[in-house]
Amino acid sequence: MTKLPERPVFLKSAHLLGVSDLSPLEIPKLLDLADIYVEVNRNADKRHAILSGLTQVNLFFEPSTRTQSSFEIAGKRLGADVMNMAVSTSSVSKGETLLDTAMTINAMHPDFLVVRHQASGAVELLAQKVSCAVINAGDGQHEHPTQALLDALTIRRHFGRLEGLEIAICGDVFHSRVARSNIHMLTKMGAHVRVVGPSTLLPSGIDKFGCTVFHNMKDGLAGADVVMMLRLQLERMSGTFVPSQREYYHFYGLTEEKLKYAKPKALVMHPGPMNRGVEIDSSVADGAQSVIREQVEMGVAVRMAVLDALSRKGHNA
Amino acid sequence: MKKAWLNAKFATGEGGLLIEHGRVLAIGNDVTRDSVGSLTPIVDCAGKVILPGIVDARVFTGEPGTDYRETLATASDAAAAGGVTTMIVMPNTEPAIDDAAMVDYILRRARDTAKVRVYPMGTITKGAKGELISEIGLMKSAGAVAITDGVRSVANANILRRAMMYAKDFDMLVVQHVEEPTLATGVMNNSEASTRLGLSGSHAMAEVMMLERDLRLVEMTKCKYHASQISCAESVEVMRRAKQKGLPVSCGVSIHHLVLNENDIGAYRTFFKLSPPLRSEDDRRALVAGLADGTIDIIVSGHNPQSEDTKRLPFAEAAFGATGLETLMSAALSLFHNDNISLQKLSQAMSEAPAQLLGLEGGKLKIGGAADFIAVDPNRSWLVEPSSLYSRSKNSPFEHRTLEGRVIETVVAGTVIFNYRA
């Protein structure tokens, strides 16, 4: 087991509920810490014992593959005991309320509760009722802070900074917690954010979040350093929010042609899972400018950094 | 090749019109027998009025799906006879014009079979069913000039709101048939007349409340909106206020609502069964006033051919709709003769305003513009007989009536496509 470098304590909050809780001073420190874990993860010996004896419970009320496994790996690499609560086979499916579930788990004295829930604000509600550190792994259409952190880390490692970058977030911003967290994160760190999509997929008042609004890819991508695509759920593109998949692809799908509007070496990002041939072409998703797989790698490092930082709050440990 | 029309009147002024290669080369007092040269073929208009060709923004055909009612070819014959040089066809066909392939189909069929210019509107919702948004962007790329569900209202406010938001991104005009469908269930205007006839009525408020709701959605979305046809006095008031507010809205009126009223139904004459229904004489007068003061932007024929099978039925069971392409100008001229509406105003509301609204070339005679025009004799009276009409369907509310004034000649892109012989 290699020795970890000095890691100062810096998180003010006992939980990570949203990017809006993080200060512009905390974010770079969290990313610095994540950089350390990127290197750790690339070593043959990835295991550390800094969370040894601590219990991490993953409570996912919504199905998730990558986020849940990413949190699980992050916890295990740091030596925590990780338990995945299978919500679909648990008492929740028998009608137990969110707060009863929380109180039940709390009685088992976990140290970290990683929660994903389909309702905006559910994670915050839960955090008020438990005595351990709560990490929001995505709540409704509200926030997904570790995704924004891993995106910021990916971008920072490529450009060496976030400040002053032109970042286009494209597609279904309306339903996206990833977009909201990223907008908070990137505007906080001094990047210029544009949102690009049909009006039906842009929430009202989004221009008040410090970003510029575009309704076509040509203008929205012009001069962008980063093109961040969002997932559009298939059921939303058959006439409710968008007329059809083919129309969406035609006007808003990221093709090699549309990518040319952005800067020549612009990064292409996607939080996954992708709808290939709908919001993004395979040739772009797998192309030279794509950092989509790198985002997944950064995800583990960022989550290790978050667990590490929260564990040293002295809140419950 | 050049050609000149001389000795003509215009809506204002007089003179001649010189064309070349389908475009206007010169217009006005300077165009005389001497000025055009002896080699240029000339037409002596003998004082007839030359006006821009009519741009009719509401025409139904049966192509594809119900060709027995009307095809693009027969509709274009009727259009030519009525002075309509551009017709905007409604998407209520079978199948509906609700995707790019159908828009393309109509444009190709029109190119191959129609004498006049034809542009389709696509639907707002798939199949005009009011449920799912159509491929507005792709239809626009294919050549659709606006979107409408035609004979139907988009009743669901959330769906219309999203369609408007989406349409605005593509700068697409949303055209709505304004009738609250759960209230407009009658077969004629709801009034003393409907009670007397024992027919179910649709109250004018069914139109007003849909219009008012839509205008709120326009405030929310800032989308360009056009009420296809308004039919009552209160709607004129509502539109007047909306325009004063500065909303990006406009409205049309059918020629039938400008010159007819509910009493014309008489003894259950189904050719007067329209949607929206013919209203009271007070409503009609308010519509004429709204046209005069510019509250109402355009006049449409609302041409809706229906076969005898669907019209020769008890009133309540008969289909809605009347043909109108061939009688549009003649009926409009009755407003000139009887209601003090100037020729200039009529022409503006039938040509320039609709062309502008839909972003089309034409609608105005100007140097370099398309040579789409008509020669009209405002005083020539003619008898409307089914046998003399070009439309495949004969459901004209003016049948057996003598109208004063008619189109004598129709020219599209410099080519004479209709010449009236009494």
Please list the residues that pair with B15 across neighbouring strands: B8
What integer pLDDT is reported at residue A88 of this predicted model? 64
- Whether residue A251 lies within 8 A of chain B, CB to CB, comes out as yes
* pLDDT tens-digit readout, A277-286: 999 999 999 9
- Considering only CB atoms, B133 lies closest to which of A216, A243, A250, namely A243
Instruction: Quote the minimal CA–CA distance from B140 to chain A in Å.
Output: 11
Tokens coding B189: 């205007």
CA nearest neighbour of B77 among B393, B370, B399, B406: B393
- Considering only CB atoms, A247 lies closest to which of B135, B162, B165, namely B135
What integer pLDDT is reported at residue B323 of this predicted model? 97
Sign of CA dihedral A257, A259, A261, A263: negative
Answer yes or no: do B133 and A199 touch at CB < 8 A. no
Q: Are β-strands B415-419 and B117-120 bridged in parallel, bridged antiparallel, or unpaired? A: unpaired
Instruction: Quote the minimal CA–CA distance from A238 to chain B in Å.
Output: 7
What integer pLDDT is reported at residue A38 of this predicted model? 97
| Chain A stretch 51-70, residues whose beta carbon is closer than 8 A to a beta carbon of chain B | none
Residue in chain B closest to A235 (alpha carbons) equals B132
Count of other CB atoms within 10 angstroms of residue B338: 11
CB B337 within 8 A of CB B379: no
Place of tokens 């040269």: B37
Contacts of A205 in chain B (CB under 8 A): none
Quote the CA–CA distance of B411 and B371 in Å, as a whole number: 7
Quote the CA–CA distance of B285 and B236 in Å, as a whole number: 11
List, in sequence order, every beta strand (DSSP E) within B98-202: 117-120, 147-148, 174-176, 188-189, 201-202
What secondary structure letter does DSSP report for B172?
P
- Considering only CB atoms, A243 lies closest to which of B131, B134, B168, namely B134
Contacts of B168 in chain A (CB under 8 A): 199
Tell whether the model's pLDDT for residue B279 goes beyond 90.
yes
Quote the CA–CA distance of B337 and B225 in Å, as a whole number: 32
List, in sequence order, every beta strand (DSSP E) within A118-257: 133-139, 166-170, 192-196, 212-214, 226-229
Quote the CA–CA distance of B192 and A12 in Å, as a whole number: 76
Answer yes or no: do A244 and B135 touch at CB < 8 A. yes
Quote the CA–CA distance of B273 and B321 in Å, as a whole number: 6
Quote the CA–CA distance of A57 and B193 in Å, as a whole number: 75
Give SS3 for A94: helix
Contacts of A240 in chain B (CB under 8 A): 132-133, 162
CA nearest neighbour of A29 among A5, A50, A51, A11: A11
CA nearest neighbour of B194 among B284, B317, B278: B278
Tokens coding B172: 């697409």
* pLDDT tens-digit readout, B181-204: 999 999 999 999 999 999 999 999
* pLDDT tens-digit readout, A160-215: 999 999 999 999 999 999 999 999 999 999 999 999 999 999 999 999 999 999 99
- Please state the domain extents for chain B: 52-358
Measured in degrees and rounded to the nearest 5, phi and psi for residue B163 equal -60, -40
**Contacts of B238 by beta carbon, 8 Å cutoff, 6+ apart:** B208, B211, B212, B215
Answer yes or no: do B137 and A247 touch at CB < 8 A. yes
Residue type, A301: A
What integer pLDDT is reported at residue A94 of this predicted model? 65
Q: Among the CATH numbers 3.20.20.140, 3.40.50.300, 3.30.530.20, 3.20.20.70, which is that of B52-358?
A: 3.20.20.140
Sign of CA dihedral A169, A175, A177, A178: negative
Contacts of A196 in chain B (CB under 8 A): none
- Whether residue A276 lies within 8 A of chain B, CB to CB, comes out as no
Residue in chain A closest to B223 (alpha carbons) equals A199
CA nearest neighbour of B270 among B228, B308, B324: B308
Chain centre to alpha carbon of residue B27: 27
Contacts of B126 in chain A (CB under 8 A): 239, 243
Answer yes or no: do B132 and A200 touch at CB < 8 A. no
A77-81, A103-107, A225-229: which range is least confident on average?
A103-107
What integer pLDDT is reported at residue A91 of this predicted model? 63
Tell whether the model's pLDDT for residue A153 goes beyond 80.
yes
User: What is the ipTM, given to two decimal places?
Assistant: 0.89
Answer yes or no: do B162 and A200 touch at CB < 8 A. yes
Q: State how far the alpha carbon of A150 is from the alpha carbons of A12, A293, A306, B23, in Å.
A: 20, 12, 11, 62
- Considering only CB atoms, A240 lies closest to which of B132, B136, B137, namely B132
Residue in chain A closest to B156 (alpha carbons) equals A240
- Whether residue A218 lies within 8 A of chain B, CB to CB, comes out as no
Answer yes or no: do B137 and A240 touch at CB < 8 A. no
Residue in chain B closest to A244 (alpha carbons) equals B135
Contacts of B217 in chain A (CB under 8 A): none
CB B349 within 8 A of CB B370: no
What integer pLDDT is reported at residue A101 of this predicted model? 85
Residue in chain A closest to B170 (alpha carbons) equals A215
CB B64 within 8 A of CB B94: yes
Answer yes or no: do B162 and A238 touch at CB < 8 A. no
- Whether residue A79 lies within 8 A of chain B, CB to CB, comes out as no
**Contacts of A219 by beta carbon, 8 Å cutoff, 6+ apart:** none
* pLDDT tens-digit readout, A41-91: 999 988 899 999 999 999 999 888 899 999 999 999 999 999 998 776 666
What integer pLDDT is reported at residue A89 of this predicted model? 60
Task: Find the mean pLDDT for residues A139-149.
Answer: 97
Mean per-residue pLDDT of chain A? 93
Residue type, B73: A
Residue type, A122: A
Instruction: Quote the minimal CA–CA distance from B354 to chain A in Å.
Output: 27
What integer pLDDT is reported at residue A100 of this predicted model? 87
Residue in chain B closest to A245 (alpha carbons) equals B135
CB B45 within 8 A of CB B14: no
